[in-house]
Structure 1
Amino acid sequence: MMCGRRANWTSHGSRRRRRSLQAAGTHPGAARLGLWLGHTGSERALLIGPVLLILIVELVNSAIEATVDRIGFERHALAGLAKDIGSAAVLMSFVLLAAVWLLVLLGR
């Protein structure tokens, strides 16, 4: 597991490192907030689950981008489509996070 994180950190440029730092600062904070805001074990699990899902989807997206970049840097429609779909998956995981948090916190 650490090899993947280390590879993600060392194989990408400063933009990716900055994004990784932002994610590392945001996700643990959100997880701690979920632990604090959740009243029951089920609520805590529902609040923390999407945060972990975002980390997983970010890693998968990084793997897709690395694979596409490994194949070649020339522009190709399918390469762009693969990267766009990976980015859309990250966006949808954030939408899921917002929806779950709203439903849990406003549904009390």
Structure 2
Amino acid sequence: MEHKKFTAKGLMRIFNATGYSFKGIKRAWTTEAAVRQEFMLAIVMVPVALFLAQSVTQLAIMIFSLFIVVITELLNTAIEYAIDRIGTERHELSGAAKDIASAAVFFSLLQVGIVWGVIILFNLGWIQLPLF
């Protein structure tokens, strides 16, 4: 016999999903130093972006690049939790999954450096880009 699970609909579903999201953020914040560091990086860098950006477009790009880091770190943390749930013994595939997720975080941090660097150099007049 199959049991049907109650699932909320409409606004209640959105309300529940928001609650689950905040629960996940709280869990990641309390258990992962990297999550705390990258959230703090974003909090500190948003005012810097407000100061450095010379257009709304630049500001949006700079802030969204920071969000990418936070999103990637949260996904990395979720992958680590899922792998650890499977088992704590060392396995090549478990290590590979964690390493690949870590590489995604690395590239998200690298893109912040590139995006911010290009915008800052452009605003200083040190480089010229036809698209800005």
For 1:70-81, what aligned pairs fall within 5 Å after superposition?
A: 70-81=85-96
- RMSD, matched Cα: 1.3
Q: Give CA-to-partner distance per residue, 1:6-50, whole Å, 9 cap, x none.
A: 22235x3xxx2x333322322111112112211110010111111
* 1:23-102 matched pairs, under 5 angstroms: 23-102=38-117
TM-score, scaled to structure 1: 0.88
Percent of aligned positions that are identical = 35
| Unaligned ranges ≥5, structure 1 | none
- Aligned residue for 2:26? 6
Whether the aligned pair in 2 keeps the contact of 1:57 and 1:89 (CA below 8 Å) is yes
**Size of the alignment, in residue pairs?**
103
More helix by share: 1
Relative contact order (C-alpha < 8 Å, sep 6+): which is higher?
A: 1
Whether 1:107 aligns to 2:127 is no
Check conservation: 1:8, 1:62, Cα contact below 8 A.
yes
Contact 2:76/2:105 (<8 A) preserved: yes
